[in-house]
Structure 1
Amino acid sequence: MPTQQQPPKVSFKEQMHQAREDAILRSTCQLLGAKPFDAMTMDDVAAAVGIAKASLYKHFCSKEELCSAAMVKLLDNVYAYLAGLPAETPPQDKLHALVRWSLEHLMTNEMPLLPGRNSTLRAVLMANQGYLDRLEAVSCQVHAWIVEAQAQGSIQPALPPKVVLYTLYARACDPVVSFLKESGEYTDAEIVDLVVRICFDGLAAR
């Protein structure tokens, strides 16, 4: 019986390097959730992580490279979350789960603001093949669930699937969340429930 080959051991130094890089990417996502790309600086990231800016540049040579990596990491997390949903879950419930996941991360500033059409970050991302590939993978999966939910009658079949897709994506940067949070009238969980309900049920009386 052949012996199973063990994966190569990762040195302590490499583990620390990866842990610091993960912390950098998490902090970058949080900063991009709180301020626009053009307003964020490498000093902001270094301060948030608690490292010297020189150490930050050992991982990423520019703000553009750093933010691209953070957005790629975010899409990896989204795709992993979608892939982890039980296969037997109805498509509309999967869409509900995606919106809820996005809103929960938005509440904690872990969901970067979508880059504006003319922003520097958008131009950088559109030139990043890794980002585009992941965005396509996530979009294809969500689009398939939308079409399936429309076929089952749980989402209006007259709506173009792309319109539904973009509407769901927009919830990841919905200003209603911050307005409600600042009012202090609702808990985070109540805000998420309300926005999910409005997203899927609308405002019309039933």
Structure 2
Amino acid sequence: MGILGKISFKDQTFRLREDAILDATSRILAGKGFDLMTMDDVAGEVGISKPILYKHFRSKDDLVGAAMIRLIDGAIDFLERLPRDETAMGRLRALLAWALRVRLEGGLPFLPSTSPHVRDMLTRNLRYVTRVLKLNGTLKGLVREAKKAGELASALPDDVILFSYYSRTCDPAVEYLRLYAKMDDQQIVAHMLEVCFHGIATRP
């Protein structure tokens, strides 16, 4: 019996509705950004009233924080479910591919890099900060492991590699490739991985 089978129908309904709210929030944030998004937008997207929405989240800040926490949790869970014998480089490639797919599906808003208010709000959110530190620590360990294996440039500082890796998740090239090059999602992900890990120069 799954976890939903162990809780009441009322609680199941509450959790499913909360997931729908967070899904809608991610889509709206990806399209409109934090400043333009309203609680009315979210309620309308889900098909619920604002009073019901406020039973789940007290404010837009709380709602956005929960959406970002769920996103980080998704990344951590994805890494933990990869095969144990997967290499560090393989894990880095797989996670970036996952993030790009989530983004292409409209579920990856890049709020901390685009909104000072959201960045400040999230730095005060202990649950979010704890998860980000966990993910960052894991990825930094993978970068070091991949450098030792000779798969990443050993002369580059870890943080240069790591923040360059993060930047690929919000590279506007993704939208341009979809809109102007008419590439499908699979092609976009493959090309973005190639650019991230091998660059655009010819190799001897």
Normalising by structure 2, what TM-score?
Answer: 0.94
Output the CA distance in 1 between the equivalents of 2:173 and 2:167. 11
Gaps of 5+ in 2: none
**How many residues in Structure 1 have an aligned counterpart in Structure 2?**
200
191, 195, 201: which one aligns with 1:194: 191
- Structure 1 match to 2:29: 32
**For 1:168-192, what per-residue CA distance to the aligned partner results, in whole angstroms no more than 9, with x for missing partners?**
1112211100011111531111111
126, 131, 136: which one aligns with 2:133: 136
Deviation of the 1:118 alpha carbon: 5.4
Q: For 1:115, what is the secondary structure of its paired residue?
A: helix
Percentage of pairs with the same residue: 40
Asked whether the 8 Å contact 2:65–2:125 carries over to 1, the reply is yes
Output the CA distance in 2 between the equivalents of 1:97 and 1:194. 14
Asked whether the 8 Å contact 2:34–2:111 carries over to 1, the reply is no
Name the stretch that deviates more: 56-65 or 21-30: 21-30
The 1:175–1:187 alpha-carbon spacing in structure 2 relative to 1, beyond 3 Å, is same
RMSD across aligned positions (CA): 1.6
Output the CA distance in 1 between the equivalents of 2:5 and 2:199. 53
Asked whether the 8 Å contact 1:26–1:110 carries over to 2, the reply is yes
Q: For 1:154, what is the secondary structure of its paired residue?
A: coil
**For 1:122-162, what per-residue CA distance to the aligned partner results, in whole angstroms no more than 9, with x for missing partners?**
11100001000000000111110100000011000111111
Name the stretch that deviates more: 110-119 or 29-38: 110-119
**For 1:20-45, what per-residue CA distance to the aligned partner results, in whole angstroms no more than 9, with x for missing partners?**
00111111112222222111111111
1:102 alignment partner AA: A
Gaps of 5+ in 1: 1-6
